[in-house]
Amino acid sequence: MFLQSIEISRESLVSDIVAQDYRTAEVFRRHGIGYCCGGKWPMKIACQMQGVDADIVQAELEIATRNIQVSNLLDFADWDIDFLIDYLLNVHHQYLKKTLPQTLQLVTGFAEEHTKKFPFLTDLEKKFGLLVKQLATSMTQEEEVLFPYIRQIAHAHKDKEPYAVLLVRTLRKPVEETMLSNHEAVTDIIFSLREITNRYTTPPQVCTSHRVVFAKLKELDNDLMQHLYLEQSILFPRALVIEKHVLDLQG
């Protein structure tokens, strides 16, 4: 079966468009168009009311609903270390930098309006705020310290440079500590979010905003699982093997 995007009609209600595909919610939010209880207007009318060009909105909606798939047949373990790091930076880190502020705003706004009905939202908002802070710290450490270090030792080892052992001896311990502590913290928070939301399962008869928030959290969870897998199971073990080989060569 081919991946198919939804057909977006300007005659469709904004709320119905979002109900078909939660990814359209961010486009409407960005243009100030309500999509939940106030989204009972056809898209073309909602755009007119906001003074927004319907052609621009439709083009953005079509981009937002594109289906892009990465094949499971890809053997990430065979990738060159530089390419793997570039992939992590340009795919997963860029995704987080874009989606975390958006999702935090969604979670915060939803919690403010619905906490009385759903008390668990207080804990959800708190845990997600912790996740945002932890991921910001982790990405900074990876981009400024960990990834440059791995590139350096990989190149030095490949080129048989004598300074490779100095890099390992001076940076190995803090790198190992960073790898373990950051990933454990992120994983713990993700497990908490799954428990709080019943694995992002919405109760029956909830509003569109509720479904959008949970869908965004599930999307983030799925991306993080691949992100952490590539680092924990492929990149970091390869770096540790290189470190050991460099140290063994020096006796």
153-162 residue pLDDT tens: 888 888 777 7
The string of pLDDT tens digits covering residues 63-74 is 999 888 787 788
Domains of the chain by residue range: 14-64, 76-249
More confident residue, 107 or 152: 107
Distance CA 159, CA 168 (A): 15
Mean pLDDT score, 109-114: 92
For residue 1, pLDDT beyond 60: no
What percent of the chain is modeled with pLDDT above 90? 63
Helix, strand or coil, per DSSP, at residue 13: strand
Q: For 216-233, what is each residue's pLDDT tens digit?
A: 999 999 999 999 999 989
Instruction: Report the alpha-carbon distance of residue 47 to residue 10 in Å, rounded.
Output: 9
Reply yes or no on whether the pLDDT at 39 is more than 90.
no
CA geometry: angle at 134 spanning 113 and 186, to 5°? 95
Look at residue 164 and tell me whether its pLDDT is greater than 80: no
Phi, psi of 173 (to 5 degrees): -60, -50
**CA distances for 7 relative to 12, 58, 205, 236, angstroms:** 10, 11, 25, 43
pLDDT digits (tens, 9 = 90+) for 115-127: 998 999 999 999 9
Q: What are the tens digits of pLDDT across the range 166-211? A: 767 666 666 667 777 888 999 999 999 999 999 999 988 889 999 9
Please give the residue that has the higher pLDDT: either 243 or 172: 243
3-class secondary-structure state, position 173: helix
Q: pTM for the full model?
A: 0.88
4, 67 contact by CB (below 8 A): yes
Would the pLDDT of 251 be above 60?
no
User: Over the stretch 17-33, which tens digit does the pLDDT of each residue have?
Assistant: 999 999 999 999 999 99
> What are the pLDDT digits (tens) for 85-94?
999 999 999 9
